[in-house]
Amino acid sequence: MHISEGVLAAPVLISGALIAAGGVAIGLKKTENEKIPEVGVLAAAFFVASLIHVPLGPTSVHLILNGLVGLLLGWAAFPAILVGLVFQAILFQFGGLTTLGVNTVTMALPAVIGYYLFGPIVRGKNHKRALVGAFFCGAFGVLGAAFLVAFALFWTGQSFLEAGKMVIYAHIPVMIIEGILALFCVGFLRKVKPGLLEVKK
């Protein structure tokens, strides 16, 4: 769901960069030293998941895993996703350096919101409710990112309205897939490593 270079207006790029910088600063401040390896692993997972792209106008369709990343990392999703995006932009020219701030916000902000909306359910004692919460968190991450991409395109110019709608519609199947992935990952972690989810006993 990377927005390419040369698409967005300067005010959108600047706003995205400022919001991303704030999110990364909060994420770094809230990340404890023992959490850094986990942040690195999830940044790598995000990087790999986003490598397979299906081009779609000014953006592209691919797995994001931002809902799962947010669920496990909270605010640390900002630096984790930023690192993944930097390597994708440098190594594979996905997105770009000028759009790095906007792309970080579109993927990391829904991840953090999902952490607060669905995290308490996923960390609760009820296993079935936790799985349902995980599904919706994974789906919400994609939905939120799609809406933010559409908003960034629309803010650049109303001529991008149809492209923004297309981004949202195209990611509906991705929402379902990511919801299922998050469900299985949370179900597995609750059994073998509940400490990663901070599951209540």
Q: pLDDT value at position 130?
A: 94
**Average pLDDT of the segment spanning 9-13:** 90
- Written as six digits, the tokens of 87 are 């390597």
What global pTM score does this model have? 0.88
- Written as six digits, the tokens of 194 are 């509940």
Rounded distance between C-alpha atoms, residue 120 and residue 177, angstroms:
22
**Residue that the structure tokens 């594979």 belong to:** 92
User: What ranges in the chain are assigned the alpha helix state H?
Assistant: 10-30, 36-49, 66-73, 77-92, 100-122, 127-156, 161-170, 172-192, 194-197
- Residue 201 confidence class, pLDDT cut points 50, 70, 90: low
Fold of 10-197: Arp2/3 complex 21 kDa subunit ARPC3 (1.10.1760)
Rounded distance between C-alpha atoms, residue 138 and residue 143, angstroms:
9
pLDDT in tens, 15-40: 999 999 999 999 999 998 888 999 99
Domain boundaries, the chain: 10-197
pLDDT in tens, 77-121: 999 999 999 998 888 887 788 999 999 999 999 999 999 999 999
Q: Are 55 and 4 in contact (CB under 8 A)?
A: no
